[in-house]
Amino acid sequence: MYAQMIKSTGKGVKSLDEMDPEERAFQERINAGGKIEPKDWMPDGYRKTLIRQIGQHAHSEIVGQLPEGNWITRAPTLERKAILLAKVQDEAGHGLYLYCAAETLGVSRDQLTRDLLSGKMKYSSIFNYPTLTWADMGAVGWLVDGAAIMNQVPLQRTSYGPYARAMVRICKEESFHQRQGFDIMMKMANGNEAQRKMAQDALNRFWYPSLMMFGPSDKESVHSAQSMAWKIKMNTNDELRQKFVDQTAPQAAYLGLTIPDEHLEWNEERGSYDFSEPDWEEFFDVLQGNGPCSVDRMEARNKAWDDGRWVREGLLAHAEKKRARKMAAE
């Protein structure tokens, strides 16, 4: 997902009886569907895990602008360009909402940025793949935003108030993202032979990386069990991946495109599709920073931060000067 492999306390989930009164009250509130707000008492592990998770999600929104930003100047029509620009601007907003949510937990925006730029914090593996043709803009909106939606919709009910509220805002915008992507895919899939090939090629390249977005199976993971008890993770990775495949397979059929998986098959008994797992070795390798575009992405973010320094400092100095002048006049 936009947040992958998030570590929690590393210990098993405590039972209510093992908790001291404070923690017990906290957990009971979550169990009853209540929200935790920034100034409420919370276990240290909850705070730290959320900072990691929301921070990684925010970084993904920001780095996620790069593969699509790549095509803004080369969009085939002015209308497509305006749409793509709006979509990429939305993603910047998503990053902002999430950074603000993380900040309510006591970490600064600059700290989060520094941790991204130094490689200490991660972003989603999916954004380390290149966008080679215009059809990739379709595939990204359809598949990548589609996979993100799978995870973001349930997170609107997450236990941490500011995170849940950020998700509500984000989800309102995501359906535009997925639809504009599918619209591009429809145009390409129903276009001439070269366009249809491009659409199929985009699906071929983005299918498995999209499945990887959900992360490896976490049925046995203590981190996931704890995160689910805290309701900062709402479903297992496998559940969400299955849901995504079930939703996407018929859409691919509608487009007349073939999902690159010979084992993809409707399973009557389960009422779901059977499908092949992605290559998890590739996933871990990409997460380690060895994806095809990992170096480019980090260079682009570092350059933006360095090049923007004079703007940040200049505006701050100007604001201070104005304030001093106003004080002197009063």
Partner 1 sequence: MSSPESGSYDATEAAPHGKPRATEWPLWEVFIRGQHGLSHRHVGSLHAADAESAIKNARDVYTRRNEGVSIWVVEAAAIAASSPEEKGPLYEPSNDKVYRHPTFFDIPDDVGAM
Strand partners, 273: 266
Output the DSSP codes for 96-120.
HHHHHHHHTTT--HHHHHHHHHTTS
DSSP code of 125?
G
**Under rule CB under 8 A, residue 93 binds partner 1:** yes
- The binder of partner 1 chosen from 74, 270, 303, 318 (CB under 8 A): 318
**Under rule CB under 5 A, residue 136 binds Fe ion:** no
CA angle 66, 72, 78 (to 5 degrees): 160
Q: How far apart are CA 179 and CA 78, in angstroms?
A: 18
* In the complex, least distance from residue 108 CB atom to partner 1, rounded to whole angstroms: 5
DSSP code of 19?
S
Q: How far is CA 133 from CA 61, 188, 206, in A?
A: 21, 11, 12
User: Alpha-carbon Rg of the chain, whole angstroms?
Assistant: 21
* In the complex, least distance from residue 12 CB atom to partner 1, rounded to whole angstroms: 28
Do the beta carbons of residue 241 and residue 214 sit within 8 Å?
yes
**Under rule CB under 5 A, residue 59 binds Fe ion:** no
Number of residues that bind partner 1 (CB under 8 A): 32
User: Position of tokens 């389960």?
Assistant: 270
Q: How far apart are CA 45 and CA 4, in angstroms?
A: 17
CA angle 222, 36, 54 (to 5 degrees): 60
Q: Of these partners, Fe ion, partner 1, none, which one is at the site of residue 29 (CB under 5 to 8 Å by kind)?
A: none
Q: How far apart are CA 289 and CA 281, in angstroms?
A: 13
Per-residue x/- marks for partner 1, 120-159, CB under 8 A?
----------------------------------------
Q: Which is nearer to partner 1, 90 or 145 (CB)?
A: 90
* In the complex, least distance from residue 94 CB atom to Fe ion, rounded to whole angstroms: 4
Q: Which is nearer to partner 1, 176 or 284 (CB)?
A: 176
**Under rule CB under 8 A, residue 322 binds partner 1:** yes
Strand partners, 160: 36
* In the complex, least distance from residue 23 CB atom to partner 1, rounded to whole angstroms: 15
- The binder of partner 1 chosen from 11, 20, 25, 108 (CB under 8 A): 108
Report the site for Fe ion in 155-184 (rule: CB under 5 A).
174, 177
Report the site for Fe ion in 85-104 (rule: CB under 5 A).
91, 94
* In the complex, least distance from residue 110 CB atom to partner 1, rounded to whole angstroms: 5
**Under rule CB under 8 A, residue 264 binds partner 1:** no
* Residue ranges that bind partner 1, judged by CB under 8 A: 37-41, 86, 89-90, 93, 96-97, 100, 103-111, 162, 165-166, 169, 312, 315-316, 318-319, 322-323
